[in-house]
Structure 1
C-alpha cells in the first residue's frame, strides 16, 4: 500500500490574492502551504519581519511598528549588529491598539544575495509553527534571494503526521514583485527536487520516477520519452545495473526547445532510486541514505521544470538514467563484462560503482544522437568527493575552461558552490582492463583518487564534446537544518543549473 507523503513549501501568489500556484505535489497530491505578496503586513499576521543593519533598512517608523520604545533604542538594547541571520524579536502594538504583535527585526548585512538568502531563511525558521508571517522586503538588494531563502527554509517533507510544522503563510511586503516571483520559481523547482529525493524507495521505483518526470513534462510544456525494458537493448549499463531488481530500469528524456535557441545543452542525471551496492554490498550505515542516490536525476527534472518560466534561451535535453541497484540471483557480478551504448566494453570490478555505468550509456547516447554543444552530468557519484570537499561544496570536473568558469560563477551566485577538481591524465591508466576496453574502477582496487577516476571514466563516453561532471555526493543530502537547507534531500544543483541555463537571457 502506498505511503502518504506530504511535501510542504510556504510559497506565494499575487498581491490581490487571486488563487496562486501551490507547492510541488507529492505522488498523492498533498498540497503545500501558501502565501502572498502585498503592499503592507497582513492585519492578522502572527509575525512581521522588518530588515535592519548596515545594509538597506526599512523605515524606522510605520503604523504597524507602534512601540513605546523607539526602534533604534530597541536594537541598541539588544546589541543588534544587523548581520545576516541575526533576528531580534520584540513585542509591538497591533494596528488600532487591539493587542500585541511580535516583530522580528532581521539583519541584512551588506544586502548581497548571499546575505539576504541567509536572512530570509532565518526569519522563516523563527516563524516555524506560526500561521502567518509578513516579511518587509529591503528597499535595495536582491528580493529574489530573500524570497528563495525564506521559502526553502519553510520546506518540510513528512510521512504521515510528521512533527515538522513550518510557517503556514508568508506575505512579502514591498520589493519588486518580478524579483520575488523569480525567487519563488527557483525555490519551487528546488523543492520539487527535494520531494523526489525524500520520497521513500518503497514508493520510488524507476517507473515511479519516470511517471513524475512525465507529470512535470505535462505541467511545464516539455517533450518526454521513456525507454522501458524491451527498448533498452543498446543501453547495456542501465540494463546491467537494474537486472538484479524486481523493478525494471528505464531511461527518461525531457526536451525543452525555445524559439531560435542559441545552443543545445544536454543535462544527464543519475537516477539510482535505491543503491544496495549490488553484490558488492554496502554496510547498513552506508545504505541508510541511499534513497537519495537519484539526487542528480532529481536536479535535472526539477531544473527542466522551470526553464519555460524563465524563458531560457537555449535548447535543453534532460536525460535521467533510472535503475535500482539491488541483489538477487540475477544481479550482475564482479568480473562481468558489459557493453555500453555505442559498443565500448566495461569490466565491472565493483558493482557498487554503478552510477557511472548508467551515466555512461546516457552520455554516449547524447553524443551519438543529440549533437549537443555542451554536456553536463550531475550525480551523487563517489564518497571520495565528500571526503575531499565535505558537505558544502560540489566537485566540478570539466574539459572546457569557459564552461567550468560559468558553472562556478552560477554556483556562487545561486548559493550552491562548486570546487574545480583536476582531470589528471596520469590516472587514466588505472581504468585499463585486461579483458575489456575499460574497468569501472581502479583495477588495482586501491581506492585512491576515486572521484577523479570516476570522472575520467565518464569522460570516455562524451565524444570529446565540451563536458562538465558535477559530483554532488556531499551537498545533495543534509543531516540537519542549516540556513535554507533542510534535513534530507537538499535539491543541490537546481539553482546553479537554472542560473547557468538562463544566464544568456
Structure 2
C-alpha cells in the first residue's frame, strides 16, 4: 500500500504538490482560483511562480483538477497544482484520489498542507490517496511502476498523526473488503472466505472467531444457510467474529450476506446477470472488514459480526422453488425463486443474533436486490429502519465517509405480500417493490430487536464500472468506511 509520511521539512523534493481553492462566487461571476496558504517554508520563488500559473493555465480549483508544470534544473523539478474545491472533506477526498492518478508515474511526491488544515481534511486526503491507488490483479506479469510514497509537509506533523493512522486503517480495511469481493469464485468459496477472516483476525488481539461448518449448522437449526448451500460441492459456513473491548458499553451486531457465487440455483440466472456474481458476498466482506477495523482502531464498542456463507449452485441437491425452509428461530419460509437466496441466509443470522446475542443495535448489509439500482442508481444504498435516530446516525456517518445511502419506507400495507398458504412467510413474492419486500421479510426475523434494527440493500454501490474519485473499477468495499465512522461515534 502507498506509504504516507508526515514531515515538517521534506527529505527530498522532486515533485511539489500545492493545493488550489476555487474562488468565491461574486455578482460578476467566479473569482480566480487561489493557492491555499501553507505554513511550511517553500523554496524561494515557488509560491509566486505557482500563483502566476493559475490564470495562465485557466485553473478553476475544482476538486480533482490537476496541472503539472516542469521546472528543469531547479528544485523542485516539477510543480503539481491540485484543485481542492471549497476545501470540504469530500473535496479533499476527491483531490487525494485525483492526485494518486495524476502522480502514478512518480515514485515520490511532497504535498504542502494548508496552514489551517483540519484533521478531517487530512484524513479525507489520505483516504482518497490510498483508495484510488488500489488495484486488484491475479497475474504473474510485472506491474508498471507506481507512486510509492507521499510526504505531507506540515508545520505540526504530530497534530495529524491520529488522522493519518485512522485513514490508513480505514483504507486498509476497505481494500481488504475489495480484495475479498474481487477474488474470482474459482478461488473464493465459503471455506476460503472463512480462512481469510481467520488469517486477518490472527494479527489483532482481543478478537474471538468461531466458524460453524455444515454439521454444526444442521445441529443448531440454520436451515436457510444449509438450503442455499446444499447444491454446492463447497459446503456453507457461518463466520462469527467478535471484538470485545473491556470498556465497551454498547454491543453492535453486524450481519452481512455472503453468497460466494450465485448462479440463481434452479431458478438459474441468464449469463449477463451471472457474470459478476462473485460480488454477491460484498455485504459479508464489508461487515468483517469493519469489525477488523474496529479492533485495529481499538474502538470502545463491542462488535459481533455474522457472515453466513454459501455458494448457490445448480445440482441434484440444490433446493427447489416451492420448498419450505425452517430457519433458526423455527419460522418457515416458502420460496418459489431460488434466486432470492440471500434473504434466506440472512434470516438465519438475524434470528440467531436476536435470540442469542442480545444486541443493543442490529445492522445488516446485503447485495440483496437489483431493485436497489433501479430505484437509486449506482452510488446509493437503500436504507431501511423503524428507528429514526439509528437511521439518522448511520446516514450521517455514511455521508461523512464519502459514501451514499437513502432511507426507504417500510409500508405496513405491503406485509400481506409475505403471506403463504403453506408456511409462515413467503420469502420471494413476485409483487414488485422488490427491495422493500425483501426488507420487510428480513424484519420478521429480528425478534425483540426490531426497534433497533437497520438494513441496507447495497447491491448497486458495491461495484464500480470504472474509476470514479476514490473508487476504482471493480469492488468498492462499500460500507466499510461508513460503518467505521458510525462505530467510532458509539461508546
When normalised by structure 2's length, the TM-score is 0.91
Q: Deviations over 1:69-116 (max 9, x none)?
A: 72211111112122211111111356xx47x72221111222211011
1:235 equivalent to 2:219? Answer no
CA contact (8 A) 1:225 1:252 kept: yes
Cross-structure match for 1:38: 7
**Distance in 1, Cα, partners of 2:247 & 2:326:** 37
Give, in angstroms, the shift of residue 440 of structure 1.
1.1
Counterpart pick for 1:498 among 478, 481, 484? 484
Counterparts of residues 104-503 of structure 1 (less than 5 Å) = 104-139=80-115, 140-141=117-118, 142-160=121-139, 161=141, 166-174=146-154, 176-221=160-205, 222-233=207-218, 234-442=221-429, 445-446=430-431, 448-465=432-449, 466-503=452-489
Separation in structure 1 between the aligned mates of residue 320 and residue 456 of structure 2, nearest angstrom:
28
Distance change >3 Å, CA 152–CA 164, structure 1 → 2: farther
The aligned counterpart of 2:2 is 10
Shift of 1:61: 9.2
How far apart, CA to CA, are the structure 2 residues paired with 1:503 and 1:92?
46
The Cα RMSD (Å) is 1.9
CA distance in 2, matches of 1:504, 1:239: 34
- Cα distance in 2 between the residues matched to 1:308 and 1:130: 34
Q: Tell me the CA shift for residue 133 of structure 1.
A: 2.6
1:64-83 paired onto structure 2 within 5 Å: 64=43, 70-83=49-62
Shift of 1:65: 6.8
Gap change, CA 1:364 and 1:60, over 3 Å in 2: closer
> Structure 1 residues 430 and 491 mapped into 2: Cα distance closer, same or farther (>3 Å)?
same
1:162 shift after superposition? 7.2
Measured in 1, the distance between the counterparts of 2:9 and 2:374 equals 48
How far is the alpha carbon of 1:171 from its aligned partner? 2.5
Distance 1:368 1:65, change over 3 A: farther
Instruction: Tell me the secondary structure at the aligned position of residue 119 of structure 1.
Output: helix
Distance in 1 (CA, whole Å) between partners of 2:210 and 2:283 is 19
1:242 and 1:249 in contact (8 A); partners too: yes
Q: Distance in 2 between matches of 1:459 and 1:173?
A: 50
Does the 8 A contact of 1:67 with 1:92 survive in 2?
no
Shift of 1:44: 6.0
Counterpart Cα distance in 2 of 1:68 and 1:320:
53
1:183 CA displacement: 1.2
- Cα deviation for residue 263 of structure 1 reads 1.1
Task: Quote the offset at 1:308 in angstroms.
Answer: 2.6
CA distance 1:64–1:332, shift in 2 (3 Å): farther
**178-187 or 195-204, which moves further after superposition?**
178-187
| Cross-structure match for 1:25 | none
Deviation at 1:322, TM superposition (A): 0.3
Asked if 1:84 is matched to 2:60, the reply is: no
1:128-182: CA deviation from partner (whole Å, max 9, x where unpaired): 2332232322332310000001110011111102767642322222252221221
Q: Which runs of 4+ in 1 moved over 3 A?
A: 58-69, 162-166
- How far apart, CA to CA, are the structure 2 residues paired with 1:153 and 1:164? 16
Aligned equivalent of 2:30? none
Decide whether aligned partners of structure 1 residues 362 and 56 sit closer, same or farther in structure 2, where only a CA change above 3 A counts. Answer: farther
Conserved? CA contact 1:250–1:321, under 8 Å: yes
- Corresponding residue number in structure 1 for 2:18: 50
Where is the helix percentage greater, Structure 1 or Structure 2? 2
SS of 1:158 mapped into structure 2: coil
Alpha-carbon displacement from aligned partner over 1:303-333 (angstroms, at most 9, x marks no partner): 1111133332211100000000111111111
| Uncovered stretches (5+) of structure 2, i.e. residues with no partner | 23-33
CA distance in 1, matches of 2:312, 2:252: 28
**Change in CA separation of 1:71 and 1:56 when aligned onto 2, cut-off 3 Å:** closer
CA spacing shift, 1:60–1:361, aligned 2, 3 Å: closer
Instruction: Name the TM-score, length of structure 1 as normaliser.
Output: 0.89
Return the alpha-carbon distance in structure 1 between the equivalents of residues 289 and 304 of structure 2: 13
Secondary structure, in 3 states, of the residue corresponding to 1:496? helix
SS at match of 1:148: helix
> Using the alignment, how far apart are the partners of 2:42 and 2:384 within structure 1?
54
* 2:250 and 2:490 in contact (8 A); partners too: no
